[in-house]
Structure 1
Amino acid sequence: MAQAQSDTKRSGGPEEGESLTSTLPMREGWWRPFFLVQGCWLTPQAAKSVELVQAQFQPRSDDIILATFPKCGTTWLKALAFTIANRSRHTVTSHGHPLLTNHPQDLVPFLEIHGRALHPVEELEALPSPRLLSTHLPYALLPSNTSALGCRVVYLCREPKDVLVSTWHYINKVRRDFFIELDKAFEFFCEGVSLYGPIWEHYLGYWKQSMIEPNRILFLKYDELMADPSKHVKMLAEFLRVPFTDVEVNTGVVEEVVRLCSFENLKGVTDRIGGLPMENSSFFRSAKVGD
């Protein structure tokens, strides 16, 4: 991060009509200039999104926020949480289950920009409580009253080397007019300059708060979830306040949730994501630990 700070440039003072980013520290990023917002590196689009979320989003006390650094199992966590929280409405073994025809990214909306458009506030307001929402924001950039209202947060982290490799493949696949060499991406990543980075600050923000409020923030690790998904599915159900009954456990519902949300099953969904110009397969590459 010291190198990142030494390379940081500051633009001049703000004038009427200048954009938000004109007053922020800036440096070269993976595919465009990145700007430093309260210690977090963002693209201009993401920085504007953060501003809108903080100004317009109205949390509810029973909101559940799924938080991740990009490429840390976001899609898998959304699938698991959606399936667990909605299993009274959508039987896990049903042939009409939403996960069989919809991408998890569409079933659990982001607070901030997802692709090219900001979810209208009205769209989030229309969701029934308890809302299941998602974000890549670091803890420090969450709307301030999420903590005061007691909104629960599920955080999933992943081995940083796997995050780097996954991000590199993803960016080079979805941005067809762009390519970044792995060595350059590695250099940026180690300096903390990646979207929503530095990754260690992102992890630490949620981890430290989970130590203070373990009943409000559930901190999970991707490799442990991969090693024993059934254990973590039950843990997640308890945290979401929809624990599995003895009957469900004895009849294999936990294992059915794991199967429905498996990498192999999710990768088979062919729908595009909210009309965005990227294939569903862009979100599923290998799902391996130590890749």
Structure 2
Amino acid sequence: MSENQMKKEIQQVSEEEVEQLMQSLPKVTIMNNKLELVNYQGFWHPSLANYLKSTLLFQRHFRARNTDLIIASFPKTGTTWLKSLLFSVVNRFNYPNKDQTPLLKHHPHELVYRLEVDVYGNAFEYPQPQHLDDLPSPRLLHTHLPYTSLPESIMTSRCRVLYIGRNPLDTVVSLYYFSVKMMKNMEGEDFRHPSMEEFFEDFYTGRVPHGPFFEHMVGYWNQSLERPDKVLFFKYEDLNDNQVFYVKKLAEFVGMPFSTKEESQGVIDDIVEMCSINNMKELEVNKSGVINKYFEKESYFRKGEVGDWTHHLSPSMVERMNTLSLMLEKLEGTSLSFKMLSSQ
């Protein structure tokens, strides 16, 4: 397909159909009424920057290769970390010297493209990354869409999906600080951000980008049980506790296991160290600049600590999430659980 043909196809998708769909979808506003979300296929998504159009393009026109490796995640659950780990594992033969890794010069989000934003969202409107068809296999890609909204070609091909989930308390704290910084970049430093209590309420009821959180996570969890050769589910906390073990598991899942020689030479340890948040946040490439106009590179490396929620959430918020109803209700019957640190 020529560029002109593709451009025409994109314009056809972007006009009256998207406008009519937008008008028909439920809408809410969050972040003190400054960020509008639309409910598409049961999940809330940003309505800004033609996000719905790019999602439709992704769903209709993406053709998965059997060799594709696709990271899926809810925002602020360890996406950046998993991108850097996957990139390092897959490309370790291309850059055998750890001082040559592109992670020293590129943010992880510049190396593993997000499909509905970096590819389809930028088509013919902003400088676009190298076209998908030109990327060598295995292509390393990412999406925040729930499993039920993925293109059919991902479901039916032999491509593999890696999902990372995180306990809800750390997720809501990380998402709050990231969202506040993003909104200040969009609205200016005078933006009056919501309190943690107000943001927690939106998260609790599912009204955050790509929420509800539990439904998003459980969708991929169930698929990892039904199709373990297709979907690998990481828990952020488990990965944090035993990084070498899970990096080896990642490599085996993508068909590139580490050799005994590599293990003895410390290749896995080098990858773990390179991709650690403490190392990544100190790299000059991640200290300044933005991703997709509004997201500061440094905002992707705040703390990454398991249990940081104990410093930010009130006992009543923790009780509502943990023990009263929500987590028990949403995870009942799934066999999915998270280690939760005590706030005491």
Q: Which aligned pairs between 1:1-291 and structure 2 lie closer than 5 A? A: 18-30=19-31, 31-44=34-47, 45-91=50-96, 93-114=97-118, 117-118=121-122, 123-176=131-184, 177=187, 178=191, 179-271=193-285, 272-274=289-291, 276-291=293-308
Distance 1:125 1:39 in 2: 31
More displaced stretch, 56-65 vs 242-251: 56-65
More displaced stretch, 203-212 vs 48-57: 48-57
More displaced stretch, 57-66 vs 153-162: 57-66
Q: Which residue identity does 1:251 align to in structure 2?
A: Q
Tell me which residue corresponds to 1:9: none
Partner SS state of residue 224, structure 2: helix
Tell me which residue corresponds to 2:333: none
Structure scoring higher RCO (CA < 8 A, sep ≥ 6) equals: 1
Q: Which residue identity does 1:18 align to in structure 2?
A: E
Q: Do the aligned partners of 2:162 and 2:233 also contact (CA within 8 Å) in 1?
A: yes
Q: Do the aligned partners of 2:119 and 2:129 also contact (CA within 8 Å) in 1?
A: no
Q: Sort the Cα spacing of 1:160 and 1:17 in 2 relative to 1 into closer, same or farther, 3 A.
A: closer
Q: Which residue identity does 1:51 align to in structure 2?
A: L
Can you list the C-alpha shifts for 1:3-24, whole angstroms capped at 9, x where unaligned? xxxxxxxxxxxx8883431111
Q: Do the aligned partners of 2:64 and 2:154 also contact (CA within 8 Å) in 1?
A: yes
More displaced stretch, 67-76 vs 45-54: 45-54
Q: Sort the Cα spacing of 1:122 and 1:76 in 2 relative to 1 into closer, same or farther, 3 A.
A: closer
| TM-score, length-scaled by structure 1 | 0.89
| TM-score, length-scaled by structure 2 | 0.76
Tell me which residue corresponds to 2:341: none
Distance 1:187 1:116 in 2: 32
Distance 1:49 1:164 in 2: 26
Report the alpha carbon displacement of residue 280 of structure 1 after superposing the two structures with TM.
2.0
Q: Which residue identity does 1:39 align to in structure 2?
A: G
Partner SS state of residue 95, structure 1: helix
From the two aligned structures, give the one with the greater helix fraction. 2
Percent of residue pairs bearing the same amino acid type: 39
Gaps of 5+ in 1: 1-14
| CA-based RMSD | 2.1
More displaced stretch, 130-139 vs 26-35: 26-35
Distance 2:52 2:26 in 1: 12
Can you list the C-alpha shifts for 1:200-256, whole angstroms capped at 9, x where unaligned? 010111011111100110011000000010100000000111100000011111111
Distance 1:255 1:116 in 2: 36
